[in-house]
Amino acid sequence: MASQTAHDVVQAQLDAYNRKDIDALLATYVQDAEQFVLHGERLAKGHAEMRPRFQARFAEPDLHARLLSRMVMDNAVVDLEVITRNFPEGRGTLEMLCVYEVAAGRIQKASFLTGEKKLDATGHSGA
């Protein structure tokens, strides 16, 4: 992976996410990668903590990330995405700002800022 650009690595991560391919997704991250809330708490460190977080998300049948925009500067990639999710209250979307730091062909650190949850008009409540 070392010959891949930062753009290529993050695109491979997004493609694996949308295929719900946990092994391909984790392969885009270094073994001790860290994930954070943007400028905040650490969400996970390493594949052992990342795997169950992704597996829980991948259980959602409608999960999909749609890329709205991407900026690349050296080893940094900033994506703005709309994520379709299955929330307890029903199907909906939220915007997510994703900031990735890539080195040697793998994601070293990722930070996420989550926007407001919007339920689909046709979303059904769990009640």
End-to-end CA distance of the chain: 47
- The model's confidence at residue 122, banded by pLDDT at 50, 70 and 90, is low
**Domains, the chain:** 6-119 (3.10.450.50)
Task: Please choose, from the candidates 18, 34, 32, the residue with its C-alpha nearest in 3D space to the C-alpha of residue 81.
Answer: 18
Among residues 35, 37, 11, the alpha carbon closest in space to that of 24 is found at 11
What are the tens digits of pLDDT across the range 25-78? 999 999 999 999 999 999 999 999 999 999 999 999 999 999 999 999 999 999
Query: What is the predicted pLDDT for the residue at 121?
Result: 83
- What is the C-alpha separation between 118 and 103, in angstroms, rounded? 35
Q: Record the pTM.
A: 0.90
Q: Tell me how crowded residue 33 is: count the other CB atoms within 10 A of its CB.
A: 21
Q: Give the phi and the psi of residue 17 in degrees, each rounded to 5.
A: -60, -50
pLDDT in tens, 101-112: 999 999 999 999
